[in-house]
Amino acid sequence: MIAAHDLSALRSLARLHKVAVSELRTAEKRLFKHRLPVDEVLAALPEAAQAAWRGGVDWHPLVLAQRRDSQLDGASKLAFRTADGATIESVMLRFRTGRSSVCLSTQVGCAADCAFCATGKLGLRRNLTAPEIVDQVLQAARLFRAEGRVLRNLVFMGMGEPLHNEEALGEAVEALRDPERFNFADRFIVVSTVGVPAAMVRFARRFPGVNLALSLHSAREEVRRWLVPTTRRHPLADLRAALAEVSALHGGHTVLIEYLLFDGLTDTHADLEALVAFVAGIPVHINLIPFNPVAGTESLGLRSTPKERREAFGAALKQAGLKVTLRRSLGTDIDGACGQLAQREGALKAPVV
């Protein structure tokens, strides 16, 4: 089966059935640019080619099994079923400015085992394939389109660690930013990582315009090792060196740092000093994120820093000359907020879409 994003294979198949160039271009535009349903894509082709494309292409490796819309904000959580029966989640985010974004998964589960994250509790089942990553985008884009919205931002912050699945991530990003295919702008793509130094540098070298976000959470070695166990092999000094190299590869534009504020653990004066020292000399933009409580973390005693102190921490970072944004979480009522993506096998009811 041909993957829906494999343009050269789609073209070869069309040529085999003597599709005229203009017809092929129309079909391609409907698929990649307008992101229309498959029937409308196929309608651009003569009959024989339609049959070949219909039967020979795996248009949707994922089946949308459930959709939950937040009553609080413009978030919708999509649960997709893979061909082998696993469930993964993506989140559609709608902002008041009209901008639309989708949060994408790269693995079924995750091996990183971050102390505070629901996905980590699942362990890793398998990597997603490039077609499965791309299909999340395609299906979300179609849903947005039906609402008169255009999907602009892609954030790899769903289930899984993108840089533990470098090959499929690379193939998907390649297709998504390709001007002949989906044509997403580099500056509107963010890949978020727990911090795999060598893979960060490889990614920045291959896609220098695509944003990388490092989930730092603590610039104190022992605290970070506890919060993000998988990075025990990567001391902060290595991460810092990778960040500097990534920034240089980005032509000096800012690298994003995600920092979760935990009461008494990552929000003290010592934490502030360590963070300021860690990023010194590297152009970064720090996102301060409130902790969304997830089941299974109660016994760890993790509590979010209250709002006023989050604001004070942000103000102190600004005082130190850093760029800072205080994030709020969307989709908390649909378990769609950061770190809450962990649909368990078999937990879905019959399709509701």
Out of 61, 131, 336, 339, the only residue in the binding site for ligand SAH (CB under 6 A) is: 339
For ligand SAH, the closer of residues 60 and 285 by Cβ is 285
For ligand SAH, the closer of residues 2 and 337 by Cβ is 337
What are the C-alpha distances in Å from 221 to residues 232, 236, 279, 282?
9, 7, 14, 19
What is the distance between the alpha carbons of residues 244 and 279, in angstroms, rounded to a whole number? 9
Ranges within 194-233 binding ligand SAH (CB under 6 A): 194, 215
Does 267 help bind ligand SAH (rule: CB under 6 A)?
no
Contact between residue 78 and residue 62 where contact means Cβ atoms under 8 Å apart: no
For ligand SAH, the closer of residues 37 and 229 by Cβ is 229
For ligand SAH, the closer of residues 61 and 195 by Cβ is 195
For ligand SAH, the closer of residues 57 and 228 by Cβ is 228
| Residue 160-199 contact track with ligand SAH, rule CB under 6 A, x = bound | -x------------------------------xxx-----
Could you say which of 103, 110, 114, 338 is catalytic?
338
Q: How many residues bind ligand SAH (CB under 6 A)?
A: 18
What is the distance between the alpha carbons of residues 213 and 195, in angstroms, rounded to a whole number? 9
Minimum distance, C-beta of residue 214 to ligand SAH, in the bound complex (Å): 8
Minimum distance, C-beta of residue 200 to ligand SAH, in the bound complex (Å): 11
For ligand SAH, the closer of residues 116 and 278 by Cβ is 116
Q: Dihedral through CA 278, CA 284, CA 285, CA 287, nearest 10?
A: -40
Does 314 help bind ligand SAH (rule: CB under 6 A)?
no
Out of 116, 184, 203, 278, the only residue in the binding site for ligand SAH (CB under 6 A) is: 116
Minimum distance, C-beta of residue 107 to ligand SAH, in the bound complex (Å): 9
What is the distance between the alpha carbons of residues 10 and 24, in angstroms, rounded to a whole number? 9
Minimum distance, C-beta of residue 78 to ligand SAH, in the bound complex (Å): 16
Contacts of 273 (CB under 8 A, 6+ apart): none
Minimum distance, C-beta of residue 195 to ligand SAH, in the bound complex (Å): 8
What is the distance between the alpha carbons of residues 215 and 256, in angstroms, rounded to a whole number? 9
- For residue 89, indicate whether it is catalytic: yes
For ligand SAH, the closer of residues 106 and 139 by Cβ is 106
**Location of structure tokens 């073209």:** 11
What is the distance between the alpha carbons of residues 318 and 320, in angstroms, rounded to a whole number? 5
Q: Which two tokens stand for residue 81?
A: 């079923």
Out of 79, 134, 289, 330, the only residue in the binding site for ligand SAH (CB under 6 A) is: 289
Binding segment for ligand SAH among 32-40, 57-65, 70-78, 288-296 (CB under 6 A)? Answer: 288-296
Minimum distance, C-beta of residue 227 to ligand SAH, in the bound complex (Å): 9
Minimum distance, C-beta of residue 248 to ligand SAH, in the bound complex (Å): 21
Could you say which of 28, 89, 132, 171 is catalytic?
89
Residue nearest to ligand SAH (CB): 339
Does 291 help bind ligand SAH (rule: CB under 6 A)?
yes
Catalytic residues: 89, 338
Residues at the interface with ligand SAH (CB under 6 A): 112, 114, 116-117, 157, 161, 192-194, 215, 258, 260, 289, 291-292, 294, 338-339
